Amino acid sequence: MAEVTLAGISKTFGQTEAVHNVSLTIRDGEFVVLLGPTGAGKTTTLRLIAGLEAPDSGRITIAGRDVAGVAPATRDVAFVFQQYSLYPHLTVYENLAFPLRSPARRLQDAEIDARVREVAKMVRIDHKLQNRSTRLSGGEMQRVAIGRALVRKPAIYLMDEPLSSLDAKLRAELRLELKRIQSELGATLLYVTHDQVEAMTMADRIGILAEGKLVQIGTPREIYSNPANLHVAARLGQPHINLLPQGLLPGCSAPAGTKTIGARTEHLEISASTPGNAEIDWIEHLGDQNHLHIRVGEHKLVTLADPYLAIQRGDRINLKLRNPLYFDAGGQRLT
Amino acid sequence: MSSATSAHSVVEPSARTKRIAGIIVVLYAVITMVPLAWIFMTSFKSPPDSISYPPKVVFTPTLEGYCNLFTTRTRQTPEYIQSLGPPQSICDEITRGRNMVIAGPSNYWPRFTNSMVIAFGSTFLAVFLGTLAAYGFSRFRVPLADDLLFFILSTRMMPPIAVAIPIYLMYRELGLSDTALGMILLYTAVNISLAVWLLKGFIDEIPREYEEAAMIDGYTRLQAFRKVVLPQATTGIAATAIFCLIFAWNEYAFAVLLTSGSAQTAPPFIPTIIGEGGMDWPAVAAGTTIFLVPILVFTILLRNQLLRGITFGAVRK
């Protein structure tokens, strides 16, 4: 395992700038998640580190070595793709052994066998080693794909939305497993996703990418509670953060220049009272919690409420802010 | 209306529909098989039976056609034939029955061998070069790729024979006339456009993530191509090989024009088999029957690949 640094990396495809001046250090043994919507440059960043693309400018170092011009095979990285992750003409065993049998490594058969079986156990696929890789369920395929990366001990693991094609239950399981494996191995891992839950649960640090730029990087807690701007604030939180004009709701002391107030569930205090300043528009019952759709004048907002809160559709309530987030006209956070 | 539309079930065609479809298919197969069956039968007829009118469907089979195909014979007096020892083979016996003796082997076998060498050689080359070219077009940003592909295809837009005279003159200058190498190069050139286009389609369907994964796993691009792309392209390669082989095997016009002796292939040779007093039809039919065998074997061997190749893209793997 080793430290990987990006310094001022840019990459343009035709007219579109996929990655713009990104600088990032992934420390030895750290789990970094890049979070951003489709087209934010997440995958391109991974491909640049892997050597599948060459940056237009900037420097990438892996374990202190500048890797400009170094072929992917000798960069000592492992990559898990979003899909098409297994070689369809090979068995599970052969898929796992494939990186070890490469001309770049040439391990002894006995060593290959030992490593394959060890990793197969780790990703819990050891009962299907002789299966054709096309005869697996989606979850098994992704486990093998992750296993094929883990079978090596590279400087860094690069993972491109490895769980996105799976159903919710499997995703939750593999999320835990992946985090467990990473901390067991002390692996350096750069993980790309658009799923905020994956980012929040697995990352040591989250980097928020938007339109090719690294907007903010920090621990999940920092990113969540101290977003640098509106974009970052909007990436995290379920339900989505409510963006309200300054002065709509009482209970805050906005700094000068505040244009927009961001209010998540924990920033809203609800009390049932008439006449109140808001009205319940709709309630979604999720069982363990309720989604309240609230209308304040022309504005609509969504918040969570505990299921025992005795309110109904059409009720008037009193809504108050408690330490919300303040943003200026340019969307920058004000504190 | 409602009763009529209900017959158009998406579940399963009715038994009657299936029967009608079956009859049509069988009928069509029979019609297309008749000429082949006729050639096969003719190859076992005696020369008089082969040209009798009305045509004979029931006849006494003989190997005379095959004997005549593989041998040259000379007419001898009955006394001379009497003086010979017992016949060495079944062909010896048949030939002597017609007051002739076998003088030596015919040219059929060398011509057949030429066909094998030229057809399989050019198929191998066309598929080999076509695969590499198709991979290049599929994976790299080739300048003017579309124009180049169109240019490659344009060689198929006229009948090959349209360029026969320039090729004839060129080959004469280069000393490639009537050489196996010349024919292999020519058929390779004709087939390579087909190979590039077909294979590009197949390779486009193989996600590049596989090679990229292999390259990160420690393989060079060429090694990744061999270990990951080739095994997945076998279907397409097999289908392409069959199409190329069928063309090269059956090609007649260039073969007539450019080969006459040592490099002559079977198609121009077979019609030149002339017996006593006219065409020796059973021998011609025998030559044609044997000529069909290699392509039949090759196609049967690659049959599964071919079927999958034709339906490629229509089914999810």
The CATH number of the domain holding residue A53 is: 3.40.50.300
Cα angle A47, A48, A51 (rounded to 5 degrees) comes to: 85
Grade residue B8 by pLDDT with cuts at 50, 70 and 90: low
CB–CB of B209 and A98 under 8 A? no
Examine the domain organization and report whether A212 and A324 are in the same domain.
Answer: no
What proportion of chain B, given as a percentage, has pLDDT over 90? Answer: 46
Q: How large is the average pLDDT for residues B215-219?
A: 91
- Contact at 8 Å (CB) between A75 and A4? no
**How many separate domains does chain B show?**
2
The predicted structure's pLDDT at residue B314: 39
CATH of the domain at A294: 2.40.50.140
CB–CB of B216 and A73 under 8 A? yes
Examine the domain organization and report whether A218 and A280 are in the same domain.
Answer: no
* Tokens read off for B257: 């024009």
Q: Which among A111, A198, A193 is positioned nearest to A153, based on CA atoms?
A: A111
Q: Is B85 a member of any domain?
A: yes
Examine the domain organization and report whether B52 and B181 are in the same domain.
Answer: no
Say how far apart CA A152 and CA A99 lie, in whole Å.
Answer: 7
Residues of B in contact with A51 (CB under 8 A): 216
Examine the domain organization and report whether A66 and A163 are in the same domain.
Answer: yes
* Tokens read off for B195: 């190979």
* Tokens read off for A260: 């927009």
Examine the domain organization and report whether B51 and B178 are in the same domain.
Answer: no
CB–CB of A103 and B220 under 8 A? yes
CB–CB of A99 and B218 under 8 A? yes
Distance from the A227 Cα atom to the nearest Cα atom in chain B, whole angstroms: 35
Tell whether B215 is within 8 A of chain A (Cβ): yes
Say how far apart CA A272 and CA A293 lie, in whole Å.
Answer: 15
Tell whether B209 is within 8 A of chain A (Cβ): yes
Examine the domain organization and report whether B159 and B284 are in the same domain.
Answer: yes
Examine the domain organization and report whether B77 and B213 are in the same domain.
Answer: no
Cα angle A195, A199, A203 (rounded to 5 degrees) comes to: 160
Examine the domain organization and report whether A247 and A115 are in the same domain.
Answer: no
CB–CB of B215 and A105 under 8 A? no
* Tokens read off for B267: 């198609």
Examine the domain organization and report whether B58 and B114 are in the same domain.
Answer: no
Task: Answer with the one of B89, B106, B123 that is the final residue of a domain.
Answer: B106
Say how far apart CA B32 and CA A41 lie, in whole Å.
Answer: 59
Interface ipTM above 0.85: no
Residues of B in contact with A75 (CB under 8 A): 216
The predicted structure's pLDDT at residue B50: 86
Containing domain of residue B128, as a range? 109-310
CATH of the domain at B242: 1.10.3720.10
Residues of A in contact with B232 (CB under 8 A): 88-89
| More confident of the two residues B118 and B162 | B118
Examine the domain organization and report whether B131 and B73 are in the same domain.
Answer: no
Q: Which among B269, B272, B268, B258 is positioned nearest to B179, based on CA atoms?
A: B258
Q: Letter for the amino acid at A301?
A: L
CB–CB of A104 and B228 under 8 A? no
Examine the domain organization and report whether B193 and B100 are in the same domain.
Answer: no
Examine the domain organization and report whether A176 and A295 are in the same domain.
Answer: no
Say how far apart CA A13 and CA A16 lie, in whole Å.
Answer: 5
Grade residue B315 by pLDDT with cuts at 50, 70 and 90: very low
CB–CB of B215 and A52 under 8 A? yes
Examine the domain organization and report whether B200 and B274 are in the same domain.
Answer: yes
The predicted structure's pLDDT at residue A113: 93
- Contact at 8 Å (CB) between A11 and A53? yes
**How many separate domains does chain A show?**
2
- Contact at 8 Å (CB) between A251 and A321? yes
Residues of B in contact with A105 (CB under 8 A): 218
Residues of B in contact with A71 (CB under 8 A): 215, 220
* Tokens read off for A297: 């004048």
Residues of B in contact with A77 (CB under 8 A): 216
Residue A275: cis peptide before it, omega within 30 degrees of 0? yes
Phi, psi of A127 (to 5 degrees): -85, -5
Grade residue B309 by pLDDT with cuts at 50, 70 and 90: low
Examine the domain organization and report whether B75 and B198 are in the same domain.
Answer: no
Examine the domain organization and report whether A289 and A310 are in the same domain.
Answer: yes
Residues of A in contact with B217 (CB under 8 A): 73, 78, 98-99, 102, 148, 152
Task: Answer with the one of A235, A270, A292 that is the final residue of a domain.
Answer: A235
Q: Is B289 a member of any domain?
A: yes
Cα angle B67, B73, B78 (rounded to 5 degrees) comes to: 105
Examine the domain organization and report whether A212 and A283 are in the same domain.
Answer: no
Containing domain of residue A249, as a range? 242-334
For tokens 């990655």, the residue is: A19
Q: Which among B78, B77, B79, B102 is positioned nearest to B90, based on CA atoms?
A: B102
By 3-state DSSP, what share of chain A in percent is helix, strand and coil, each rounded to 5? 25, 35, 40
> Chain B: residue nearest A49 by CA?
B216
- Among the partner-chain residues A51, A83, A104, the one whose CB lies closest to the CB of B218 is A104
- Among the partner-chain residues B212, B219, B317, the one whose CB lies closest to the CB of A103 is B219
Query: How many residues can be counted in chain A?
Result: 335
For chain A, 335 residues long, the average pLDDT of each consecutive 10-residue run is 90 91 93 91 93 93 91 91 84 93 85 92 87 84 89 92 84 88 91 92 93 93 91 87 85 82 88 80 87 88 85 84 88 85
Position B317 pLDDT exceeds 70 = no
Q: In the A/B pair of chains, how many CB contacts fall below 8 A?
A: 64
**pLDDT tens per residue across span B93-105:** 888 888 888 888 9
Grade residue B74 by pLDDT with cuts at 50, 70 and 90: confident
Tell whether A83 is within 8 A of chain B (Cβ): yes
Q: Is B37 a member of any domain?
A: no
Distance from the B123 Cα atom to the nearest Cα atom in chain A, whole angstroms: 25
Tell whether B226 is within 8 A of chain A (Cβ): no
The predicted structure's pLDDT at residue B30: 94
> Chain B: residue nearest A99 by CA?
B217
Lowest mean pLDDT among A319-328, B133-142, B270-279, B282-291: B270-279
- Contact at 8 Å (CB) between A81 and A141? no
Query: How many residues can be counted in chain B?
Result: 317
Grade residue B277 by pLDDT with cuts at 50, 70 and 90: low
Task: Answer with the one of A235, A255, A274 that is the final residue of a domain.
Answer: A235
The predicted structure's pLDDT at residue B310: 53
Cα angle A59, A60, A63 (rounded to 5 degrees) comes to: 135
Q: Is B17 a member of any domain?
A: no
* Strands B71-75 vs A299-305: parallel, antiparallel or unpaired: unpaired
Cα angle B229, B232, B233 (rounded to 5 degrees) comes to: 80
Task: Answer with the one of A235, A262, A283 that is the final residue of a domain.
Answer: A235
* Strands A16-26 vs A4-13: parallel, antiparallel or unpaired: antiparallel
Tell whether B232 is within 8 A of chain A (Cβ): yes
CB–CB of A71 and B209 under 8 A? no
Residues of A in contact with B317 (CB under 8 A): 88, 134
Asked whether the CA dihedral A240, A244, A248, A251 is positive or negative, the reply is: positive
Cβ neighbours of B156 (radius 10 Å): 13
Q: What is the pTM of this model?
A: 0.79
- Among the partner-chain residues A72, A105, A134, the one whose CB lies closest to the CB of B216 is A72
Say how far apart CA B127 and CA B230 lie, in whole Å.
Answer: 12
DSSP string, A15-83: TEEEEEEEEEEE-TT-EEEEE--TTSSHHHHHHHHHTSS--SEEEEEETTEE-TT--GGGS-EEEE-SS
Tell whether A102 is within 8 A of chain B (Cβ): yes
Examine the domain organization and report whether A34 and A75 are in the same domain.
Answer: yes
b (16+ CB within 10 A) / e for A171-190: beebbeebbebbeeeebbbb
Position B113 pLDDT exceeds 90 = yes
Examine the domain organization and report whether B180 and B100 are in the same domain.
Answer: no
> Chain B: residue nearest A151 by CA?
B217
Examine the domain organization and report whether B141 and B246 are in the same domain.
Answer: yes
Examine the domain organization and report whether A161 and A16 are in the same domain.
Answer: yes
Examine the domain organization and report whether B67 and B196 are in the same domain.
Answer: no
Cα angle A36, A207, A160 (rounded to 5 degrees) comes to: 55
> Chain B: residue nearest A150 by CA?
B217
Mean residue pLDDT of chain B comes to 87
Examine the domain organization and report whether A180 and A311 are in the same domain.
Answer: no
Tell whether A99 is within 8 A of chain B (Cβ): yes
| More confident of the two residues B255 and B317 | B255
Examine the domain organization and report whether A231 and A248 are in the same domain.
Answer: no
Of the CA atoms within 13 Å of residue B301, those in its CB half-sphere come to 9
The predicted structure's pLDDT at residue B313: 42
For tokens 């590039």, the residue is: B196
Among B139, B204, B212, B216, the strongest candidate for a mutation testing the A interface, having the largest count of A CBs within 10 A, is: B216
38-57 in chain A: CB under 8 A from chain B:
50-52
Report the first-to-last Cα separation within chain B, whole angstroms.
39
Say how far apart CA B182 and CA B167 lie, in whole Å.
Answer: 10
